[in-house]
Amino acid sequence: MVRTRFNHGWSRRGFSLLWDAETLAEIVDPAEVVSIRQMFSMVDHWPDDLPAAGGDAIVVAGVEGCLDVLGGPDAERWLVEDLRRAIMSFQTHYEGGAGLILWLPSGRSRISMRGASEEYHYKHRNSGENGLHIGRLLWSGAENEIERIMNTDDHAADYDGKHWVGLYHPRIS
């Protein structure tokens, strides 16, 4: 079942993928977005003060660039061994009380859900027709807990169209 969040409560805890510039600007000053390199340097040394969502979150850019330079198997390995480890370190440090948001500017065109299985995939070169199965790689298959981030309160919104601005998961394990 696809669930949605219509407010910014998702930004203050959990793990999110975001691709809408307007929504990004509402939760963080663009100058406060950290690079993927900066995030990896923080692993196991997370700051007390976070720059986004009123001090409750961090927004990270550069994931797409990392994935784009890696071939399919290397991209999968990087997601599981490196990025997932950083996410887990973040969650452990803040005990689930802060938000980690990955900024994916082309996410709208690269992330899709297979309706029958509710599996999420990321279009990636050299990863086959379906791309990278990010639901399995990032969320260990807990895709049934993923919520779509919508930028409207309209209950007639297009869940696959312009109102879909990201994905949220309360906690990965």
Q: What pLDDT is recorded for position 3?
A: 47
Q: What pLDDT is recorded for position 107?
A: 94
Q: What pLDDT is recorded for position 173?
A: 66
Q: Could you say which residues of the chain have pLDDT below 50?
A: 1-3
Angstrom distance (rounded) from CA 115 to CA 86: 29
Q: What pLDDT is recorded for position 56?
A: 93
Q: What pLDDT is recorded for position 5?
A: 54
Q: What pLDDT is recorded for position 160?
A: 75
| Residue spans of alpha helices (H) in 56-163 | 63-69, 72-77, 84-94, 107-110, 134-139
